[in-house]
């Protein structure tokens, strides 16, 4: 199975991104977590992205805040799909991160989830890996069925 590379710009992003790592692990997807900054360690970011496909990764998840260019920089150096997770920030609440990630100029897309959308990033990455993994696709189908059952159970409870 292809692996998922989870990169974050700072260890201050770890608390939010733990949800992403936990979700990937719940699907038994091999995951590697790295801290790498597009502006503080740009050479390392370049190497990480350039080597990712050869190292067996199928998707990169990039979490960053403020002028959040990590996902865009990684995407510049690979043809792997990159999912950006905008981190909430103290000054603009994460709108700065969101717009920095989602407004990529044409040619270098970064698939963007919600502010602090760590869980959805993991699910989206799992869906991408599942394109070539039937067992994982089955796990995702079960995950959706379980979610639906939970909502139905709550509906039945309020109607009772």
Residue numbering of the annotated binding site: 10, 13, 40
Question: Which of 64, 73, 113, 118 touches ligand RP5 (CB under 6 A)?
Answer: 64
Question: Which of 4, 13, 73, 110 touches ligand RP5 (CB under 6 A)?
Answer: 13
Distances (CA, A) of 46 to 13, 91, 146: 20, 29, 39
Nearer to ligand RP5, 60 or 129 (CB): 60
Q: Would you give the binding string for ligand RP5 spanning residues 23-52, x where CB under 6 A is met?
A: --------------x---------------
Yes or no: say if 71 and 82 are a contact pair by the CB < 8 Å rule.
yes
As beta bridge partners, residue 34 has 7
Round to whole Å and give the CA distance between 65 and 58: 24
Nearer to ligand RP5, 37 or 120 (CB): 37
Summarize the annotated binding site for substrate as residue ranges.
10, 13, 40
Q: How far is CA 155 from the centre of its chain?
A: 31
Instruction: Give the Cα-Cα-Cα angle 136, 130, 62 (nearest 5 degrees).
Output: 110
Within a 10 A sphere around the Cβ of 120, how many other Cβ atoms? 16
* Residue ranges in 74-113 that form contacts with ligand RP5 under rule CB under 6 A: 87
What minimum distance in Å lies between the beta carbon of 51 and ligand RP5? 21
Residues of this chain that interact with ligand RP5 (CB under 6 A) are 8-10, 12-13, 37, 64-66, 87
């Amino acid at each position: 199975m292809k692996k998922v590379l989870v990169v974050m710009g700072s260890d201050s992003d770890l608390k939010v991104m733990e949800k992403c790592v936990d979700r990937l692990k719940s699907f038994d997807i091999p995951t590697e977590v790295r801290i790498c900054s597009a502006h503080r360690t740009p050479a390392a970011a370049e190497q990480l992205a350039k080597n990712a496909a050869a190292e067996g990764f199928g998707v990169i998840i990039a979490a960053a805040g403020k002028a959040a260019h990590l996902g865009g920089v990684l995407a510049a150096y690979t043809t792997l799909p990159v999912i950006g997770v905008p981190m909430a920030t103290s000054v603009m609440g994460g709108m700065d991160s969101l717009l920095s990630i989602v407004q990529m100029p044409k040619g270098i897309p970064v698939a963007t989830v919600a502010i602090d959308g760590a869980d959805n990033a993991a699910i989206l990455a799992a869906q991408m890996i599942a394109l070539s993994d039937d067992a994982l696709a089955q796990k995702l189908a079960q995950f959706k069925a379980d979610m639906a059952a939970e909502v139905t159970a709550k509906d039945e409870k309020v109607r009772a």
